Chain A
Amino acid sequence: MRDPNWIAAGGAEGQPSGRTAEHRGAADGGESAALLDADDPTLIEACLQGRRDAFDIIVQRHQRQVYLVCYRFVGTHEDASDLAQDVFVRAWRGLRGFKGNSALATWLYRISVNVSLNRVASKAPRLEPLERVERADHRIERADATLLRAERAAEVRAAIARLPRKQRATLILRAYHDLPHDQIAAILGSSVGTVKANFFHALANLKKLLQA
């Protein structure tokens, strides 16, 4: 069930070279280079001491995870990139309030989910356009596995977008980000039992929506 694009918190897989941090850290000599290998709590501490290059590293380390969560909610690259930027700006502003009771990744997930839910609550999701709008007769004529799969994926996205907020968030975090129930509970501020119930009802509702 794990998303192949999932990047573990603190990982650097698939990330750019970190030029921003290196560029900024040039004046600081080897200090920035040392930060590249630092763990998240060390980076947060460095941020609070005024080291902006430490936050650059945090962004590079977690931006994929943040972007993908946002993308799951809003469905377009443009909106997801705007939201991802918003998430990191909020994280920067709230950094002093981060007590370290949970992992930085969990905290960023929480901000991402809240920002995304607020966005989708304020405007209808605008899903990426797909060829699935073609008429059925054309579809039959051009039926190939890739197209049918894309159509089905679009239907699933549309159905997920119609789920209640908590069920939607739970399903996305569980199915697409493969997060354990207790971490989802920490992100959503609920109990593990509630998370399991939400996941169950999300699937039950999706079944109805996809059959409709």
Chain B
Amino acid sequence: MKHLNDAEFVGLLDGDLSDARARHAQDCADCRMRAAAMRTTLAGVMIDAVPPEPSPLFWEHLAARVAEAVQDEEPGSATLSPVAWVRSPALTWVLAASIALLMMVFVAWRATLHAPSPGLRTPPIARVAPDTVAPPPDGATAANFAGDGAAAAGDELESDEAWAVVRTAAEGFAWDDAHEAGISVHPGSAERVALELSGDERIELARLLEGALKRSGV
């Protein structure tokens, strides 16, 4: 027969065990030994069963202390602890909904932050099908050919402070110094950068290059 389990040993101590199991506890030397050890330990615990008795005046003093401690409070004034807030189902749902809303707002904000501003959006001409584009008239520059929309976009780009900062920095850039400092251009870098430019940026780049070529007399 199986030995007594934990609960059955406690039941044996309490005198609350079925007859069959109690018989096993008597017949089984192992269970008998363990039960005897439990009884001995419990008897040792009960040596300290009577705690020191406080002064008789203590009880009145304690009641007065409690009365004084709560005199300025209304009954049931306890606020929910943080754990209780989390355990409250309704509040848990509200908390979850708030977190979800915050996450959506954050994602939307991030998307807005990295989107191009309306003024820098690629003009419609960039999306025109190739066969609808008329060839440029003789003598017309790439910038002129871009049309009025592109010109307007170029003006907006010109007025963009961020672009002005980049351009100013580029104008003062000494390539020799950069080369000496170890900053060099790898093959294909220019092409990669050009591919990453938007339509407006390519138009502005073409205009700048054209201006630089004219100044240099090439």
Contact A63 B63 (CB under 8 A): yes
Contact B76 A94 (CB under 8 A): yes
Within 8 A of B (CB), among A57-83: 59-60, 63-64, 67-68, 71-72, 77, 81
Cross-interface CB contact of A196 among B6, B71, B77, cutoff 8 Å: B6
Within 8 A of B (CB), among A148-194: 149, 152-153, 156-157, 160, 171, 175-176, 181, 193
How many residues on the B side are at the interface (Cβ–Cβ under 8 A)? 39
A4 at the interface (CB under 8 A from B): yes
Contact A199 B70 (CB under 8 A): no
Contact B78 A97 (CB under 8 A): yes
A3 at the interface (CB under 8 A from B): yes
Interface of B is mostly: helix
The distance in angstroms between the C-alpha atoms of A89 and B62, with both chains bound, is 12
B34 to chain A, nearest CB (A): 9
How many residues on the A side are at the interface (Cβ–Cβ under 8 A)? 60
- If A16-B63, A197-B7, A206-B41 touch, whether A95 touches B76 (CB-CB below 8 Å) is yes
Q: Mark B64-95, 1 if CB is under 8 A from A, else 0.
A: 11110111010111100000000000000000
The distance in angstroms between the C-alpha atoms of A175 and B51, with both chains bound, is 13
Contact A176 B49 (CB under 8 A): yes
B193 at the interface (CB under 8 A from A): no
Contact A15 B45 (CB under 8 A): no
Query: Which of A32-40, A47-55, A100-108, A134-142 lies at the interface?
Result: A47-55
Contact B6 A201 (CB under 8 A): yes
Contact A60 B63 (CB under 8 A): yes
Residues of chain B within 8 A (CB-CB) of A96 are 75-76, 78
Residues of chain B within 8 A (CB-CB) of A113 are none
Residues of chain A within 8 A (CB-CB) of B52 are 77, 128
Residues of chain A within 8 A (CB-CB) of B66 are 55, 59, 63, 85, 88-89, 92
Contact A210 B44 (CB under 8 A): yes
The distance in angstroms between the C-alpha atoms of A175 and B41, with both chains bound, is 11
Contact B50 A5 (CB under 8 A): yes
B27 to chain A, nearest CB (A): 21
Residues of chain B within 8 A (CB-CB) of A197 are 6-7
Residues of chain B within 8 A (CB-CB) of A193 are 7
Contact B7 A20 (CB under 8 A): no
Cross-interface CB contact of A72 among B51, B63, B67, cutoff 8 Å: B51
Find the B residue at minimum CB distance from A54: B75
A141 to chain B, nearest CB (A): 22
Listed residue (A88, A157, A171, A201) with the most chain B CB atoms within 10 angstroms of its CB: A88
B42 at the interface (CB under 8 A from A): yes
A63 to chain B, nearest CB (A): 5
B173 at the interface (CB under 8 A from A): no
- If A55-B70, A90-B78, A94-B76 touch, whether A15 touches B64 (CB-CB below 8 Å) is no
Contact A16 B45 (CB under 8 A): no
Residues of chain A within 8 A (CB-CB) of B6 are 196-197, 200-201
- If A93-B78, A156-B45, A210-B44 touch, whether A203 touches B63 (CB-CB below 8 Å) is no
Contact B62 A67 (CB under 8 A): yes
Q: Can you list 23 A-B pairs, Cβ within 8 angstroms, ordered by A?
A: A1-B42, A14-B59, A20-B67, A24-B67, A59-B66, A64-B59, A77-B52, A81-B54, A81-B62, A81-B65, A85-B66, A88-B69, A94-B76, A96-B76, A149-B47, A152-B47, A156-B45, A176-B49, A200-B9, A200-B10, A203-B45, A206-B41, A210-B41
Additional 13 contacts, C-beta under 8 A, given A97-B78, A160-B45: A14-B59, A24-B67, A48-B75, A52-B70, A63-B62, A85-B69, A88-B66, A89-B69, A175-B42, A196-B10, A197-B7, A206-B41, A206-B44
